[in-house]
Structure 1
């Protein structure tokens, strides 16, 4: 409540509270950002020389270059990115597009890409395609003139759309392959065999795969690997779905598994697998005593759920970093090349308590 001051003529009246520290302190005006002209004047050179010192340092005398950089640091000058882009034709900015920024799988890709971008002295912008191919294509079209290239992670775009994008910007794919485009992919064939061998060793004679989005390249590769490995091991393999790779899709997927009487389930990703386990627990089904559950990705938190999830780990940070390094090597003029070979990163099965002996 505001303090009350007694006035001899008019009686008590309220006075607004004032913070004397804030009231008395002088607020300094915002400092004007130093310009290239300021640096040139202080260094005793032409503005064009300052410009070359930042954009083409090899064309400036060593001593002059050092003096310009010293003065720029003292004045707090930094080149205007937009102006540099107009002059050089490069924005020094890369774009990373992911299908769902809330999916923990992509946190590793983002972290690796950000680290590699910073090392290269570039800026990274991140866009969320919302699991929608049309949205992804709009992002690529809209950001194209503003960036030097794209890292498209788990892209849902068809091959022809990816090639159109690569004709305008350098493009590198993560967990997606398309003819002629540089890509970083996980070894799902070996990983799928690890999963099947693990379940077979526990006595399971068949598995159900809960498939992800129909447009998911990695989902198709996972299923192809599981089906081939199961056939070699003499196991049955059935695919259900597609399911949205979210926790909310778990109940419907779990109900389908129970209706089929499956003893072993492999989910498209860990989030879906955790949603399945939650639904099974709600229905009184014990994991892994009655149903074994395996996921893909080894996301943060997959070892915190109950029971901890058996899952195929991928090198997501490594994938993000390698993708940016490849994009930088391509340069903004990178174009599709039919001789490009995918870079395959290893996978490893992490066995936890969600998988166990088959029901006899």
Structure 2
């Protein structure tokens, strides 16, 4: 027979009702009592019966998290931050992979909604109508996307883009290609507008290279277009694509950065150890994941509808960017 709340109460020398309050509503008991009950929980290895707690409180103590692709290295740091903050709040996470299919996101929300207290949608591809439908099923918060009435966590791309374009301009690049991600991606549209704004401020010409899958293979596929357009510098949708592009260019006999400068986006862990190390726009993924859990857990009445938690991006210069080639070089 498993450890019960009655066993915890006996070990802590309190009533069952006090033990329950210490675990469910800790503010209602003294610090000493709360610590004694928690010590008993730890010593006995007690795990609450989640089904019973749901019946009593109407809450599951679980939050859902939907990501577009678990293989994308953008998400581990974000999920790490989310997990750390979830543990702080005493809730658990239930993870689901949408497999880069926008049409698969809403069915996942429908499946998860009865089992969780809210769902965190990471970089959702679904349209506004689908987001509205999701919000009718459970509490929703967004990461890497904003919305008129849903709480959201998003980076401020402008600071990072300005830094990247200023850096390339200082290296005498005046014509810079943009290797885009999925055309339907919210991030793609927002970044394009941000890049256009910063380029106009800095008097830099932006060349559209096209839209590609947000994968290593997508970056490789972009290489031919980059070469046909005779670009000396490119800003790439994410680091994964930038790594694929870098590999394809080198295989074709082109040097990075001597022939072509590459700037990625996200600053994933492997960006600093590519050859050459990848210049990129850093996004504070871990902090964003933590803030997103706060957005789901905290009292919604404490915030205005559509509150967006903004985090600054920053350009990181490494070895993949160099001075523009001059005619005759």
Output the TM-score relative to the length of structure 2. 0.89
CA change 1:51–1:207 in 2 (3 A) is same
1:227 maps to which residue? 196
Q: CA deviation at 1:79?
A: 2.1
CA distance in 2, matches of 1:308, 1:44: 59
Output the TM-score relative to the length of structure 1. 0.82
Q: How many residues align?
A: 326
Q: CA deviation at 1:215?
A: 2.1
CA distance in 2, matches of 1:217, 1:357: 32
CA change 1:207–1:75 in 2 (3 A) is closer
CA distance in 2, matches of 1:138, 1:81: 24
The runs of 5 or more residues in structure 2 that have no matched partner are none
1:150 maps to which residue? 119
CA change 1:62–1:152 in 2 (3 A) is closer
Matches within 5 A, 1:69-148: 76-148=45-117
- Structural RMSD (CA): 2.8
**Aligned counterpart in structure 2 of residue 359 of structure 1, from 322, 325, 328:** 325
1:267 maps to which residue? 236
CA distance in 2, matches of 1:262, 1:298: 23
Q: CA deviation at 1:71?
A: 6.7
2:238–2:266: 8 Å Cα contact kept in structure 1?
yes
Q: Which has the larger radius of gyration?
A: 1
Q: CA deviation at 1:65?
A: 8.2
1:210–1:243: 8 Å Cα contact kept in structure 2?
yes
Matches within 5 A, 1:172-187: 172-187=141-156
1:159–1:179: 8 Å Cα contact kept in structure 2?
no
CA change 1:306–1:347 in 2 (3 A) is same
Moved over 4 A (4+): 36-54, 56-76
1:206–1:263: 8 Å Cα contact kept in structure 2?
yes
CA distance in 1, matches of 2:44, 2:275: 57
Matches within 5 A, 1:249-264: 249-264=218-233
1:7 maps to which residue? none
CA distance in 1, matches of 2:317, 2:10: 66
Partner-residue secondary structure (3-state), 2:99: coil
Matches within 5 A, 1:281-360: 281-330=250-299, 339-360=305-326
CA change 1:89–1:232 in 2 (3 A) is same
CA distance in 2, matches of 1:184, 1:312: 17
CA change 1:152–1:68 in 2 (3 A) is closer
CA distance in 1, matches of 2:287, 2:35: 36
CA change 1:37–1:246 in 2 (3 A) is same
1:14 maps to which residue? none
CA distance in 2, matches of 1:281, 1:134: 36
- Stretch moving more, 253-262 or 72-81: 72-81
2:249 maps to which residue? 280
Q: CA deviation at 1:277?
A: 0.6
1:170–1:330: 8 Å Cα contact kept in structure 2?
no
Q: CA deviation at 1:193?
A: 1.5
Relative to its length, the structure with more helix (as a share) is 2
2:183 maps to which residue? 214
2:78–2:286: 8 Å Cα contact kept in structure 1?
yes
CA change 1:289–1:100 in 2 (3 A) is same
CA distance in 1, matches of 2:190, 2:240: 18
CA change 1:82–1:291 in 2 (3 A) is same
CA distance in 2, matches of 1:67, 1:321: 29
Cα-to-partner distance string for 1:54-111 (whole Å, 9 max, x where unaligned):
4456778999988877776665443201110121110111112111111111111101
